[in-house]
Homo-oligomer: A and B are copies of this chain.
Amino acid sequence: MEKPLATTQRLPKYLAYLKIRQKQGIESISTSRIAEDLNMAAISVRKDLARISNAGRPKTGYPMDALIADLERFLGYGNARDAFLVGAGRLGQALMGYAQFAEYGLSILAGFDIDPALIGSEIDGKPILPLEKLPGLARRMQVKVGILTVPEDAAQETFALMVESGIRAVWNFTAIPLSAPPGVVLQNENLAASFAVLSKRLAATFDEEGVSGEVPCGTFAPPNEKREGGHQS
């Protein structure tokens, strides 16, 4: 029960899926069903869920409510994380307005920027404040999570400022390699990297299957146990 790192990345996906199903009024669900809808191997889903819940029962699967509760507890979504976002440009604004986050335990309280044109405005009811107010507010409000969406040439110093302000986890959307001092969690969200994987997979598909003609578009995939689609993200 030590290091289910790869698993952790898949859990929110299950949660997102389950919430959709829940809204549809479904009250229990089996791992095989989840797997089919998510284009994953059933065995894989079973293993992942077994790790965080034992509410599963033969024949019926998991009770929807219990499974969602267990997932949320494991992911720590009960105690929502307050966050500050620095760099309220287009990407920053997009993240501030990303409704999904609220549902998954992330609450962006405010954005910070140095652009006078942005300061004072609001995104989804969240204020954009002058950067110099960050240290004071972060300390006072005990905000531990920071989102870094500044231009590249400001990344380094902004990161340092965030750490000095007491922020302990930084979600870095810039392409600049940063170094986190001990005790500070740094996670790089490299969109270019994701695209590279997509591009590589597309190339592989062309090479292996040849440039074929049309492909029919179904909404659901055939219920094979083994699927190569539905990559992690």
Contacts and interface: CB of A to CB of B under 8 A. Distances in A.
Interface of A: 5, 8-13, 16-17, 20, 37-39, 75-76, 81, 89-91, 93-95, 97-98, 100-101, 103-106, 144-145, 156, 160, 163-164, 166, 168-169, 171, 175-177, 179-203, 205, 209, 212, 214-221, 229-233
A223 to B, nearest CB: 11
Contacts of A214: 166
B94 A163 contact: no
B202 A168 contact: yes
The number of times this chain is found in the oligomer is: 2
Nearest to A91: B94
Given A186-B230, A197-B187, A233-B193, A100 B175 contact: yes
Contacts of A38: 177
Nearest to A205: B185
A200 B169 CA distance: 10
25 contacts: A8-B196, A8-B200, A11-B196, A12-B196, A16-B192, A39-B180, A90-B90, A90-B94, A94-B94, A105-B195, A106-B195, A145-B199, A163-B217, A169-B202, A171-B194, A180-B230, A181-B221, A183-B205, A185-B198, A185-B201, A186-B230, A187-B231, A188-B233, A189-B191, A190-B233
B177 A202 contact: no
B12 A193 contact: yes
